[in-house]
Structure 1
Amino acid sequence: MFGLLFLILFTPGVSEFLCMSSDLELSYTFCDSMAHDFMFNLTPCSIMNKPIWNLAPTWIPRSDITFLKVIFRVWYNGAKALHWKEVLCSGVDDEYSVCGRLKGETVATAFDIKGARISFPKGNYDIVLQGFSDDSENNMIMCLNLTMIVKQDPF
């Protein structure tokens, strides 16, 4: 079943496939030393025809989420392509469902990513997604290394 892979309680450092198709491969490892309760669904597993992807992560955080800063870094064929930092939860008027969740409470969400806005040329993408429970980036609560291999240009 392409595009659907449940990943629960994985040992850090072990690479797990999210999906594999004729035009796309996605896998990830945890980049911190702690095991995670984590599940990730992505459908469809394709970049052709610029589809809408449905992303459905489920996660049990290791600490309360009153503050959440995310850092998203992307490298394309070894060159830095994107570096984005954003405070998603500050404890005041937070708009995301993950905000205010307690340690051990399941965070389950789903959202669409519109492929028509994103063009991924053929190549290798290395993506690091980090989550911190403080603004100084000292208390990491999640870290994922994603590998995306685009096997053909989506044109």
Structure 2
Amino acid sequence: MFQLFFFILFTPGFSELLCTSSDLEISYTFCDSIVHAFVFNITPCTMMQKPIWNVVLTWIPRSDITFLKVVFRVWFDGVVALDWKAILCSGADDEYTVCGALKGETIATTFLIKGSRTTFPQGKYTVIMKGFSDDSEKNMLICLNFTMTVKQEAF
């Protein structure tokens, strides 16, 4: 039974519900065809009062993480609302715990994300997050497709 759960949890295309509340719902799928050992959790599940989210991440990367470039693209109503790129790990003075992780090593970490400084209108948002092991964006480590449904605007 446990093996079946593990298979479903890490199967590409499987949708994982991160959280649901009266004002917000967030889920994700993998957008590449590679099986990942990856678990992501976020609390509290709300957009009200500009929350600070506590994120728990457990991940076993498929390659060493000496360099990590992250690309975020957010769509709302079919239009790109945000296109953001950042180099999180460069091999020198890296501040994130994922930096320096070795292939097959379990990364288990928590971090905070400050809530948005803007109000999100009600609706469905698509967020594509890709992680690359090179600056040219050719060697993808992970690709996640988040769906965020804002059910009610924050006040």
Relative to the length of structure 1, the TM-score reads 0.89
> How far apart in 2 are the matches of 1:56 and 1:119?
24
Q: Secondary structure at the match of 2:96?
A: coil
Q: Deviations over 1:60-99 (max 9, x none)?
A: 1000001111101111122111111111111122221111
> How far apart in 2 are the matches of 1:100 and 1:138?
20
Cross-structure match for 2:121: 121
Q: Percent identity?
A: 69
Does the 8 A contact of 1:9 with 1:36 survive in 2?
no
Is 138-147 or 40-49 further displaced after alignment? 40-49
> How far apart in 2 are the matches of 1:9 and 1:106?
16
Residue 154 in 1 paired to residue 148 in 2?
A: no
Q: Secondary structure at the match of 1:34?
A: coil
Q: How do residues 17-96 of structure 1 correspond to structure 2 at under 5 angstroms? A: 17-96=17-96
Is 116-125 or 38-47 further displaced after alignment? 116-125
> How far apart in 2 are the matches of 1:98 and 1:118?
29
Report the number of matched residues: 148
Q: CA RMSD in A?
A: 1.4
| Residue type at the aligned position of 1:145 | N
Residue segments in structure 2 that go unaligned for 5+ positions in a row: 1-7
Cross-structure match for 2:139: 139
Cross-structure match for 1:3: none
> How far apart in 2 are the matches of 1:118 and 1:153?
11
Is 144-153 or 120-129 further displaced after alignment? 120-129
For residue 138 of structure 1, report the CA deviation from its aligned partner: 1.1
Relative to the length of structure 2, the TM-score reads 0.89
Q: How do residues 98-113 of structure 1 correspond to structure 2 at under 5 angstroms? A: 98-113=98-113
For residue 152 of structure 1, report the CA deviation from its aligned partner: 0.7
Residue segments in structure 1 that go unaligned for 5+ positions in a row: 1-7
Q: 1:118 to 1:52 in 2, by over 3 A?
A: farther
Does the 8 A contact of 1:12 with 1:32 survive in 2?
yes
> How far apart in 2 are the matches of 1:105 and 1:50?
34
